[in-house]
Amino acid sequence: MLSLERWELLLILLFPLKLTAFLKFINNGISCVANVLDKISPNLEGSALLETCSRAGELLRVLIYVAEPLRNEQHNEMPILDPEVQDRFFDVVCTKLEWMAVIAERYAENKDNSTSEHVQPTVLLAKFLQFDLGFRGVWTQKTLSQSTKVVNVLSRLVMVRLLI
């Protein structure tokens, strides 16, 4: 994998590329993020969890940097992501958010306020969801079928934060 500095240098060199090249870069970046997020499991805790989230956060920063020109007023619409990439990414983010909700609920039941270890990953996953929803074509058949689950998980996370 490229370091963050190399990604940024690559972006500076590729910045004047056409929309299709940007889209390919973003699709590859989102696939890479899905691979990193896939490493998060219910048993992953402590520094391993934070390190995985840190890597995913760096990739998010690069993707935001790449997508920024596409979001400005010169472009009327964001591009459509590859549906397979979109479906996998959305599924990974939703699954990990669901795990974080279960963990947060467990802490809330025990009246344990030491949830800070899981707050960062939860916020990061929410940021990925927000980033993803900024593209056109997000709502494929698969993501539409998961939309109720996503709303439910986000509601549970909000309720847990209100209870703690």
Q: What is the DSSP string of 51-102?
A: HHHHHHHHHHHHHHHHHHHHHSTT-SSPPBPPHHHHHHHHHHHHHHHHHHHH
Q: Is the pLDDT assigned to residue 136 strictly greater than 90?
A: no
Average pLDDT over residues 46-59: 83
Cα–Cα distance for residue pair 120/130, rounded to 1 Å: 15
Q: What per-residue confidence (pLDDT) applies to 134?
A: 84
Q: For residue 98, what are its two tokens?
A: 């669901």
Average pLDDT over residues 59-68: 85
Q: For residue 157, what are its two tokens?
A: 């996370």
Contacts (Cβ under 8 Å, ≥6 apart) of 10: 2
Q: What per-residue confidence (pLDDT) applies to 25?
A: 83
Flag the least confident range among 50-54, 112-116, 125-129, 136-140: 112-116
Return the SS3 of 118. helix
Return the SS3 of 41. coil
- Give exposure, 125-153, as e/b (b: 16+ Cβ within 10 Å): beebbebbeebeebebeebeebeeebeeb
pLDDT band at 64 (very low <50, low <70, confident <90, very high): confident
Q: Is the pLDDT assigned to residue 69 strictly greater than 90?
A: no
